[in-house]
Amino acid sequence: MPLDVFRKKLHNKAIETELEAWLGFLAFDDLKRIWEISRFDPIFGEMYHDLSEYRKDITEVLGVFSEILYEMDVEAAKYQSSQEKKKLRKELSQQAQVIENLTTENQRLHQLLAAAGISIPDSGSNA
């Protein structure tokens, strides 16, 4: 339920459930409703107090926000790195398969040439 719809629904109605208290905590900013929600459960009063303290010293909030952003950046870098590693492993596996196929084909061609009596110099020699 959108919070504006909730506000209209609860306009002149008392808070009666925990769900209504949580939604009210998110939706209302007038002192009468804050007081009502705080009386419903003291934890809401504590949270309102914490929020008002944060509003006084926004640097703490920005510090926490910066820490969260830093952690998100670190996790994003780890994720990107793991994705790149997966991609490189896949490419390496494909290249190993190509090398294996070429080696097998090379051996087959050597056998055919040997059967035909044609001698080929060692590919490792510097001739």
If pLDDT is split at 50, 70 and 90, which confidence band does 24 have?
confident
| Residue type for position 89 | R
Among residues 22, 61, 62, the alpha carbon closest in space to that of 44 is found at: 22
From first CA to last CA, the distance across the chain in angstroms is 81
If pLDDT is split at 50, 70 and 90, which confidence band does 106 have?
very high
Whether the pLDDT of residue 104 is over 90: the answer is yes
| pTM given for the model | 0.41
Looking at mean pLDDT, say which of 13-22, 55-64, 82-91 comes out highest: 82-91
pLDDT tens digits along 37-49: 888 888 888 888 8
Instruction: Give the per-residue pLDDT at 127.
Output: 44
- Which residues, 6+ apart, have CB-to-CB distance to 106 below 8 Å? none
* HSE-up of residue 102 (Cα within 13 Å, Cβ side): 6
Structural domain boundaries in the chain: 1-56
Whether the pLDDT of residue 87 is over 90: the answer is yes
Q: Where are the alpha helices (DSSP H) in the chain?
A: 3-9, 18-27, 31-40, 42-56, 58-115
Top pLDDT among 45 and 84 is at: 84
Among residues 53, 54, 55, 46, the alpha carbon closest in space to that of 25 is found at: 46
